[in-house]
């Protein structure tokens, strides 16, 4: 038993303060991602999440430039982007896709400029990797309370609006006919989405953050159609993928090239992808069996 544990967790894993912070932040982010992600998928807003993440890279790069933590940049730009989307109604890919694409491109262009300035005129050499792909082992412990507070705000927003949000996600028309303020609910949800994306960006980087948000939720919704169960399942998958990623990244210190360790983001995204594929298996089996019986 002890041998097995030693095989899974390389030496020093639990004593490592960087790992402890990563596990704590990763857990918070995964749970928030599960809650918000399920609604994101149900509302067909994974594109909006992706847009917020891309623009968040700009905010993160700008934050490093003015000397504050990237999280604040992700958050500020994310909320601004969510508000703008709500105002001009482009949360879905079909809505004004050309304008959205051009704005996204301009945002990433700005991110390129800021990252260039970060590394050329400042001596912040690691900024590019941190912003785009995340540096979960390099998060300062003082970030944990911020993650918890932001996570509570996002989960709280979803919790307070849970029933109307559910109805307006399944059928906006019925929700509107029942007199629900669909627009206000949508705005509150976009705010929660912006927070969830920013938190995910801290863990696995701005570019990959939607993978952690949408992937576990999509896998969960393949397994169950009940929203409550889906939220729990998505949180569990997200947590499993994030923690597995952290363990493997820590273990990879001994893999070639020895002493460097593979990036956490890679492992997390692979774990999310595999869980999505696996979640599709039960339905396929059922279909095969039904075909066999007929």
Where on the chain is the footprint of other proteins (CB under 8 A)? 10, 12, 15-19, 22, 69, 116, 119-130, 135, 137-138, 140, 249-250, 253, 258-261, 263
Do residues 275 and 70 lie in contact, with contact meaning Cβ atoms separated by under 8 Å? no
Shortest Cβ distance from residue 241 to other proteins (Å)?
18
Give the containing element (helix H, strand E) for 41: helix 17-42
**CB nearer other proteins, residue 16 or residue 167:** 16
**CB nearer other proteins, residue 38 or residue 246:** 246
Look at the block and give the residue holding tokens 């701005």: 206
Shortest Cβ distance from residue 106 to other proteins (Å)?
21
Residues in the chain: 294
Shortest Cβ distance from residue 281 to other proteins (Å)?
34
**CB nearer other proteins, residue 122 or residue 226:** 122
**CB nearer other proteins, residue 16 or residue 152:** 16
**CB nearer other proteins, residue 95 or residue 261:** 261
- Distance separating alpha carbons of residues 210 and 212, to the nearest angstrom: 5
User: Of 210, 215, 241, nearest to 78 (Cα)?
Assistant: 210
Give the containing element (helix H, strand E) for 238: helix 227-251
Which residue spans within 27-96 are E strands per DSSP?
Answer: none
Shortest Cβ distance from residue 116 to other proteins (Å)?
7
Give the containing element (helix H, strand E) for 256: none
Look at the block and give the residue holding tokens 């944990």: 144
Shortest Cβ distance from residue 62 to other proteins (Å)?
16
Do residues 207 and 57 lie in contact, with contact meaning Cβ atoms separated by under 8 Å? yes
């Amino acid at each position: 038993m002890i041998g097995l544990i030693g095989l899974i967790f390389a030496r020093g894993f639990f004593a490592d303060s960087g790992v402890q912070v990563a596990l704590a932040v990763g857990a918070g982010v995964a749970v928030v991602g599960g809650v918000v992600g399920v609604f994101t998928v149900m509302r067909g807003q994974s594109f909006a999440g992706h847009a917020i993440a891309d623009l968040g890279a700009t905010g993160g790069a700008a934050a490093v430039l003015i000397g504050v933590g990237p999280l604040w940049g992700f958050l500020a730009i994310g909320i601004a982007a969510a508000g703008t989307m709500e105002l001009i109604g482009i949360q879905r890919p079909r809505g004004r896709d050309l304008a959205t694409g051009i704005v996204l491109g301009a945002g990433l262009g700005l991110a390129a400029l800021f990252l260039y300035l970060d590394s050329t005129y400042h001596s912040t050499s690691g900024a590019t990797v941190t912003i785009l792909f995340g540096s979960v082992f390099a998060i300062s412990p003082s970030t944990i309370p911020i993650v918890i507070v932001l996570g509570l705000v996002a989960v709280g927003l979803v919790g307070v609006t849970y029933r109307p949000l559910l109805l307006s996600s399944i059928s906006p028309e019925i929700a509107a006919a029942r007199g629900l303020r669909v627009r206000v609910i949508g705005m509150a949800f976009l705010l929660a989405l912006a927070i969830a994306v920013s938190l995910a960006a801290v863990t696995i980087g701005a570019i990959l953050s939607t993978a952690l948000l949408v992937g576990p939720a999509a896998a969960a919704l393949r397994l169950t159609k009940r929203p409550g169960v889906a939220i729990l399942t998505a949180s569990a998958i997200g947590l499993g993928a994030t923690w597995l990623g952290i363990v493997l990244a820590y273990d990879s210190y001994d893999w070639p090239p020895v002493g460097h360790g593979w990036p956490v983001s890679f492992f997390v995204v692979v774990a999310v992808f595999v869980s999505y594929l696996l979640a599709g298996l039960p339905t396929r089996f059922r279909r095969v069996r039904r075909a066999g019986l007929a």
